[in-house]
Chain A
Amino acid sequence: MKVITANFVTCAVKECKTTATSFPLHFHDAELELQEVDFQPEFIRNVIPRIDWEGLRTTANELGFPSLPETKPEGDELTNEQTLKDLHRLLLETQVMEGKLVCGTCGHAYAIKEGIANFLLPSHLGKFRIEFRS
């Protein structure tokens, strides 16, 4: 699973989606791998406006990457080739091959195996309302 994907997923449990702590999901025991993807500066420049920057900073931090700038790069900063290359490497080339994605609200852990995250819920979480412990 690519790092960028973590920015576009949340908990599959319906009740969690309206809670602030369900996004982003938190990586646990992540095993990373670098997989080369063609560098398209234009793609990175276009997709950055759709990124939740706070979410990405949290994810990057949890995966042990150096801190991202506090504010999302925009305008001229997105013409800087090195900035785009760094973001390309983090977002598209960094893969979480094994590990878990954990919801900060209900605590459910979604397994990642061979690079694919599995969001299928066990039936007790899917069908019934669940009560959260405070």
Chain B
Amino acid sequence: MADEYEQNHVHEVYQQIAGHFSATRFKAWPIVERFLQAQAPGSVGLDVGCGNGKNLTVNKDVFIVASDRSENLARIAIQHQPHSTVVADILQLPHRDAFFDFAISIAVVHHMSTPERRVEAVAEILRTVRRGEGSEPGGKFLVYAWALEQKDSRRGWDKGDPQDIMVPWVRKSKSDQGQEKTFHRYYHLYEEGELERDIEQAGGVVLESGYEKDNWWAIATPKPASTSASASAS
């Protein structure tokens, strides 16, 4: 079963490596930073799969309900004021429909192990974001996923390589007398255009998308409630 697979090859690994993982991640990526800074003061948003909470330091004028599947990471993320952190599953978010002004999910959906679950994850986040109505634009959702096309990276994958892979995480810890321990996390590497296709399948409209530092990203909004198909801008 896909959820058991992710339990063993994603959730359990993050529980184990939370401390070391967190210590290697300090700063929000530039497009994430720009997106969060562009949100109006007093906006309320979500950070789904917040990890150690590095994106919670960007904007203190908005309120973010951050969530992670790993309780150990949620415990690290909770320190960032004025925001809040809970433990939740991306496919069953504890949030009302069409409420939030913005949402981010950075390097998370690539841990879902089937095409259906990846689309479902995007759909579940879009469900929580405000829908546009008439001239009032909807809330925005920024999503990042690891790219297949990254031949200049340390990993060196490129178009044509397998997309479903196990990526090692090597942890050296003092408690193991300096012994190295290797964990494997499951990833789905997105090919060009795949993230946009998933968003559309999930009922979203892609507003902007691109490639940054070995990742594909996209900004999406839920399809407006009254869809007069011709009304959307190019």
Contacts and interface: CB of A to CB of B under 8 A. Distances in A.
Interface string B41-61: 111100000000000000011
A50 interface: yes
A20 B22 CA distance: 39
Interface string B77-108: 01001101111110111111101110000000
* Interface range on chain A (Cβ under 8 Å from partner): 35 or more
Contacts of A116: 71, 74-75, 78, 85-87
A46 B61 contact: yes
A38 interface: yes
Contact of B89 (A37, A114, A119): A119
Given A5-B65, A50-B44, A120-B89, A37 B95 contact: no
Interface SS of chain B: loop
A9 to B, nearest CB: 5
Nearest to A42: B41
Nearest to B92: A12
A115 interface: yes
Given A8-B65, A46-B42, A116-B78, A121 B86 contact: no
A98 to B, nearest CB: 15
B92 A50 contact: no
Given A42-B41, A46-B41, A116-B74, A23 B86 contact: no
A78 B98 CA distance: 26
**Those 3 A-B pairs whose CB atoms lie nearest each other, nearest first:** A46-B42, A119-B94, A5-B84
Interface of A: 1-2, 4-5, 8-14, 17-18, 23, 37-38, 40, 42-43, 45-50, 92, 110, 114-121, 123, 126
28 contacts: A2-B84, A5-B84, A8-B63, A8-B65, A8-B95, A10-B96, A12-B89, A12-B94, A17-B97, A37-B82, A43-B41, A43-B63, A43-B82, A45-B42, A46-B41, A46-B42, A47-B63, A49-B42, A50-B101, A92-B82, A116-B71, A116-B86, A116-B87, A119-B67, A119-B87, A119-B89, A120-B88, A121-B92
